[in-house]
Structure 1
Amino acid sequence: MTVVGPFGVSVRDGALEADIRAGLAAVEEGLVEATKSEVPFITEAAQHLVRAGGKRFRPLLTLLAARFGDPYAPGVVPAAVTVELTHLATLYHDDIMDAAEMRRGVPSANARWDNSVAVLTGDFLFARASSIVSELGTEAVRIQAEAFERLVTGQIQETAGPREGQDPVAHYLDVVAGKTGSLIAVAGRLGALMSGADESVVNVLSQYGERIGVAFQLADDVLDIASDGSESGKTPGTDLREGVPTLPVLRLREMAARGGPGAAADRELAELLDGDLSDDARHAEALARLREHPALRQARSDALSYAYAARETLSPLPDTPARQALAELCDAVADRTA
């Protein structure tokens, strides 16, 4: 049996699968309703990415986290909608910063309209998310606000780059924890909180969410280099061509700076990566060499360490089908980076 989610996470309990599917359908309805406006153009722009689909990983995690309390509590589905709306809002803004032309198989909002429409639509979605979370209580509002702060902080850190003397890898992991891990942590936290789960369970699922969120991003970094495109859904080496400093590239630069045997070849490859990779031949050479480099193996190890840490985080929870599904997400990261 399979639940809609990243990598087709399996749920081996029929009742749980039916409940999660029903929950995700309710979330989808909530997303459509939350993105309606009296102004037709705002509705069109706000629903642009909703209707394009997506993995709905964050709502899935919210619903699974709620299984450790009352999964039918009235705040669970609105919490899942809130988290996904916040995520969607960040995509509108990210696409502006990246000058992206496509998102989820459709033209990005900035490409279809313009940057002004995209940024204002993202703001509209943030506003709607804030309105929904305000109905869930002051603690939920605080959690959402803190996550929003971390999201913005992570984006600013990425834009500014590491401080003088700061380890670039440590800086990158901080960025990923803020931009990606923080909101996935909220998905787990709000799901457990709204279900009335014990505080210790709420904390476990929050920590799990952040770790698995970082693991997913690091796995994507690996797949940008190692994949043939069928797993990641995008052309291999896309981040490489665009000069995005993903973890394998940062690990390579670290090895080149460290010196020792092979350092000259490492520096040569680093210089190739820092050059103009719009040329197909140079891009293909860089991709092929990085695939064979120990830096990629190190990046794989980094992703696995976060996935294993996320799995270990679950150990205090009761052994239920929901916990098994969460553990399987960790295994999926391991399989994906193999």
Structure 2
Amino acid sequence: MNKAQSLMPSASDALAERLTDGLVAVESRLAEVVQHEDEFIAGASQHLLTGGKRFRPLLTLLASELGTGVNDAVTDAAVGVELTHIASLYHDDVMDAAERRHGKASVNAEYDNITAIIVGDLLFGRASEIVAGLGSEAARIQAQTFVRLCAGQIRDDRQAPADADPMEHYLGVLADKTGSLIATAARYGAMFGGCSTETVELMRQYGEYVGMVFQLSDDVLDIVSDESGKTPGTDLREGVTTLPVLYVRASKDPADGRLKDLVSRPLTDDAEHAEALQLLRAHPALEQAKRHTASVAEQAVALLEPLGDSDALTVLRALPGQVASRTV
């Protein structure tokens, strides 16, 4: 099963074939634009090019199907979005001191932090260069998306202000940090697929909701991920605030005192980490988080109501629920 089929299993054979062909063109263009005459720069730029799911470019290709379908501009838009995503991973891995990414050593581990940061900047530049070739409106959207990505990351690394609602702050961070780029992926696909202004705006909103679902489902996976082979409780170990943790903190039940204490700090002690995981898995906060995630997925689907029916819309309507219920 190829990436298009694995990410969009509800696609018809004809649509899956078109998406697969489109993704081949994206992969070819990605390989082309990260080339550099300096072998060291070329190697570092290509380090994370393989192994990703290509969720964002596939969404761009799929959104274009609401109009006239994939063309050279759609392909370049998909490449610009994916390069922006890859560049952000270079920076994320430095901030997280990550050692692995896509099944191999992260760029900061393979090279060093300075190289990872500067090559990440180089890839952001490449992405902007490609998008600039699509016109001033596309370049403006790219710049606005980049600002939101950065703002989301900055706010994610800081505590919510004392006068802010913690849940509202957290969801706003997700919208900026994850939702904004996926929104741009869907928006570009509709734009360069020749869709109406109204459809382009619907797809932008849809993409932002899907991006939030993606991150919210990660919050749940971090607690229940034993079955998927992922390391459970990574966020707990690092003291990262997630949706289930926010629900625990908002609990008025006196019996939750111990769990509230555990999730108020990084859990570097293995015994405390295991205890927190056990308590969270049995706590109503986990089901609350699942329901919230499903609710955001439903909001994404509802946006598509005015667009009628087509092969592409069948996939777009199924996608948020698939993201919400994913196991990896």
TM over 0.5: yes
Partner residue, 2:12:
13
- Cα offset, 1:333, TM superposition: 3.1
Deviation for aligned residue 1:3: 5.7
Q: Is residue 330 from structure 1 mapped to residue 320 from structure 2 by the alignment?
A: yes
Q: Give SS of 2:259's match.
A: helix
Within the candidate set 36, 45, 56, 1:58 is matched to 56
Match of 2:96 in 1: 98
1:199 equivalent in structure 2: 197
Cα shift readout 1:183-237 (whole Å, capped 9, x = no counterpart): 000000001101111111101111100001101110110111122241xx52111
Following TM superposition, the consecutive aligned residue runs of length 4 or more in structure 1 with deviations greater than 4 angstroms are none
Q: Residue 169 of structure 2 aligns with which residue?
A: 171
Secondary structure of the residue that 1:70 maps to in structure 2? Answer: coil
Partner of 1:254: 250
TM-score by length of 2: 0.96
Alpha carbons of 1:12 and 1:95: their partners in 2 closer, same or farther (altered >3 Å)? Answer: closer
Alignment of 1:253-332 (within 5 A): 253-255=249-251, 259=252, 262=253, 264-275=254-265, 277-332=267-322
- Measured against aligned partners, the alpha-carbon deviations of 1:252-284 in whole angstroms (never above 9, x if no partner) come to 1121xxx3xx2x222221112335522222211
Cα offset for 1:161?
A: 2.1
Partner of 1:72: 70
Contact 2:280 2:286 in 1 (8 A): yes
Q: Flag structure 1 segments of 5+ consecutive residues without an equivalent.
A: none
1:26-41 alignment runs, 5 A limit: 26-41=25-40
Cα distance in structure 1, aligned partners of 2:99 and 2:154: 22
CA contact (8 A) 1:3 1:10 kept: no
RMSD, aligned CA: 1.6
Tell me which moved more, 120-129 or 64-73.
Answer: 64-73
Q: Is the alpha carbon distance of 1:176 and 1:5 closer, same or farther for their aligned partners in structure 2, counting shifts above 3 Å?
A: farther
Aligned to 1:157: 155
Q: Distance in 1 between matches of 2:311 and 2:265?
A: 49
| CA distances 1:138-173 after superposition (whole Å, capped 9, x unpaired) | 110011111011101111111222112211111110
Once residues 305 and 314 of structure 1 are traced to their aligned partners in structure 2, the CA distance between those partners, rounded to angstroms, is: 15
In 2, distance between residues paired with 1:111 and 1:234?
20
Q: SS in structure 1 opposite 2:316?
A: helix
Instruction: Among all aligned residue pairs of Structure 1 and Structure 2, give the percentage whose two residues are the same amino acid.
Output: 52
Distance 1:85 1:6, change over 3 A: farther
How far apart, in 2, do the equivalents of 1:7 and 1:267 lie?
Answer: 42
Cα distance, 1:334 vs. partner?
4.2
**Secondary structure in 1 aligned to 2:307?**
coil
- Tell me the CA shift for residue 69 of structure 1: 1.4
Give the Å deviation of 1:6: 9.3
In structure 2, stretches of 5+ residues that fail to align are: none
Code of the aligned partner of 1:132: I
Q: State the one-letter code of the partner of 1:30.
A: R
Tell me the residue number matched to 1:4.
Answer: 3
Residues 276 and 216 of structure 1: CA distance in aligned 2, closer, same or farther (over 3 Å)? closer
Residues 131 and 200 (structure 1 numbering): CA distance in 2 closer, same or farther, change over 3 Å? same
- 2:179 maps to 181
Q: Give the TM-score, by structure 1 length.
A: 0.93
Which deviates the most, 325-334 or 239-248?
325-334
- Per the alignment, do residues 175 and 26 of structure 1 end up closer, same or farther by CA in structure 2, a change over 3 Å counting? same
Partner of 2:241: 245
